[in-house]
């Protein structure tokens, strides 16, 4: 029986295309990206944890990657799964801190899609393709994910395909639900949509 999932905000990126700026602290329409993502995720989950490898200005618990090498978003997901396991949760829902327009029905749609997977694993998809950092992850994936990273793999898509993740399909919207802010130009575009 699955209880309401915990939320994981992936904020561990290096922000290299932003000149090394911490994306979580970037301002969009007078609020930080982190606070915008929290506001969108909070009504959909039981509790939230933030994955970051730098000190963050946040009242939420912050956990670092599961490994000391910067291995990308899957290392953050693994840290979130470890945290969820310690807190007695069965599933986490991951979102990226640089994607402030993700759907307000993300979690219910992922939960529904996950019904077709034996462990309840599902990721978001649009006509553009798969959005693997937006997913519902069963805690039972901890060992396969740790092994995947240990073997030197990094690609989210490779892992989701290997695990047969179900997909929750979201319609095209304006602004695009999974528009992510990687550059100053992206941030300006997001400001325009606001």
User: What's the pLDDT at 13?
Assistant: 75
CA–CA gap between residue 35 and residue 3 (Å, rounded): 25
User: What's the pLDDT at 188?
Assistant: 95
Select 6-193's CATH number: 3.90.550.10, 3.40.190.10, 3.40.1280.10, 3.30.70.2190.
3.90.550.10
Below-50 pLDDT ranges, the chain: 1
User: What's the pLDDT at 155?
Assistant: 96
Contact 114, 160 (CB under 8 A): no
User: What's the pLDDT at 67?
Assistant: 81
User: What's the pLDDT at 3?
Assistant: 65
Q: Which residues are annotated as a binding site for GTP?
A: 10-12, 23, 51, 65, 98
Predicted structure pTM score: 0.95
Q: Which residues are annotated as a binding site?
A: 10-12, 23, 51, 65, 98
Domain positions in the chain: 6-193
Q: Which residues are annotated as a binding site for Mg(2+)?
A: 98
pLDDT in tens, 6-55: 999 999 876 667 777 789 999 999 999 999 999 999 999 999 999 999 88
CA–CA gap between residue 164 and residue 87 (Å, rounded): 26
DSSP 65-130: -SSSS---HHHHHHHHHHHHHHTT-SEEEEEETT-TT--TTHHHHHHHHHTTSTT--EEEEETTEE
Tokens, residue 74 = 């899957």
User: What's the pLDDT at 57?
Assistant: 81
User: What's the pLDDT at 2?
Assistant: 55
What are the φ and ψ backbone dihedral angles of 123, each rounded to 5 degrees?
-125, 160
């Amino acid at each position: 029986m699955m209880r309401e999932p915990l939320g994981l905000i992936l904020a561990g990126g290096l922000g290299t295309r932003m000149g090394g700026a911490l994306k979580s602290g970037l301002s969009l329409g007078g609020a930080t990206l982190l606070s915008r993502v929290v506001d969108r995720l909070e009504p959909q989950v039981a509790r939230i944890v933030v994955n970051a490898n730098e000190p963050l200005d946040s009242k939420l618990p912050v956990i670092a990657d599961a490994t000391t090498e910067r291995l990308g978003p899957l290392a953050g997901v693994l840290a979130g799964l470890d945290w969820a396991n310690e807190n007695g949760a069965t599933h986490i829902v991951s979102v990226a801190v640089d994607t402030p327009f993700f759907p307000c029905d993300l979690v219910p749609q992922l939960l529904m899609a996950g019904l077709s997977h034996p462990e309840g694993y599902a990721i978001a998809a649009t006509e553009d393709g798969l959005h693997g950092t937006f997913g519902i992850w069963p805690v039972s994936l901890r060992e396969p994910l740790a092994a995947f990273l240990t073997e030197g793999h990094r690609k989210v898509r490779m892992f989701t395909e290997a695990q047969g993740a179900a997909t929750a399909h979201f319609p095209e919207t304006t602004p695009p639900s999974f528009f992510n802010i990687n550059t100053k130009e992206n941030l300006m575009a997001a400001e325009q949509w606001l």
